[in-house]
Amino acid sequence: MSKVYGQGAGAVHALREVSMQFRRGGFTAVMGPSGSGKSTFLHCAAGLDRPTSGRVRLAGQDLAALTQKELTILRRRRIGFVFQAFNLLPSLTVEQNITLPQRLAGRRADKAWLAEIVERTGLTARLRHLPAQLSGGQQQRVAIARALVARPEVVFADEPTGALDSTTGSEVLGLFRHVVNGLGQTVIMVTHDPIAASHADRVYFLADGGFAEVLERPTPERVAERMTLLGRR
Ligand code: ADP
Ligand code: MG
């Protein structure tokens, strides 16, 4: 798919015919220097924005064929989102934050599933706390639990450790690994951090809006080396 922002002389080609496929039940990182198109890619892949050309298929559906309303429903039911800013509502408890998307969709959270997610995200003792009473890492765990509650086809994360120190960041990355391995969840994470990317099964690299390369079984050293080379291009 391609994405162009604006028109004429001021047009920005944010994505140039980028084509990627993601394995179900895999943990994939999308990596690239700042401005390489990572967030644009994530927004188009997750149905938050539409590509200028090309197609996105998700859960057997061509997103371009959906109306805005259908897209909203698909996002709510089939996709989980985790962002750098945790986006929790400060006046709601941890439990209320986690179940909010379900309540907005007019659905009741499955109790057993909720208990499992809460357990896996290590939040059992925190359910009645407010976000302000939690550390940054715990708040991001709440956001991850919230993303999982609808049993989404895929969880998209945009720089999920960007606001965390390295220790809490690695805890959050360990949690993604845990939900991929333990629940068969598909996770696609955008990051510019080689250590974060090294937690994934494979890493796609973007440079100047184009697909550059793919790395299987990444290590922080190998990811950092590729990034240095891409930065020099
Ligand atoms: P990354 O997430 O890798 O830092 P982005 O996807 O945010 O990169 O941006 C890719 C390119 O598209 C950049 O040149 C950026 O300035 C441009 N861009 C992103 N969003 C917009 C927008 N809404 N309007 C115009 N240009 C944009
Ligand atoms: Mg970005």
104: pLDDT strictly greater than 80: yes
Measured by CA distance, the residue closest to atom 27 of ligand 1 is 5
The domain made up of 3-87+153-232 has a fold known as Rossmann fold (3.40.50)
Greater pLDDT, 120 or 198: 198
Evaluate: CB of 3 within 6 angstroms of ligand 1: no
Q: Give the domain ranges of the chain.
A: 3-87+153-232
What is the reported pLDDT for 233?
A: 64
Query: What is the separation of C-alpha 114 from the centre of its chain, rounded to a whole number of angstroms?
Result: 20
pLDDT, mean of residues 108-123: 90
Report pLDDT for 70.
94
Is the pLDDT reported for residue 189 higher than 70? yes
What's the 119 CA to ligand 2 centre distance in angstroms? 31
Q: Is the CB of 36 under 6 A from ligand 1?
A: yes
pLDDT at 112: 93
Residue 16: what pLDDT?
96
Q: Tell me: the pLDDT tens digits for 162-178?
A: 999 999 899 999 999 99
**What span, in angstroms and rounded, lies between the C-alpha atoms of 57 and 90?**
35
Output the pLDDT for position 106: 87
Q: For position 231, what pLDDT does the model report?
A: 79
Which pTM does this prediction carry?
0.93
User: pLDDT per residue over 40-86, tens digit each?
Assistant: 999 999 999 999 999 999 988 999 999 999 999 999 889 999 999 99
Average pLDDT of the chain?
Answer: 94
Comparing CA positions, the residue from 123, 53, 41 lying closest to residue 88 is 123
Structure tokens at 233: 């291009």
29 touches 22 (CB < 8 A):
no
Does the structure show a pLDDT above 70 at 30? yes
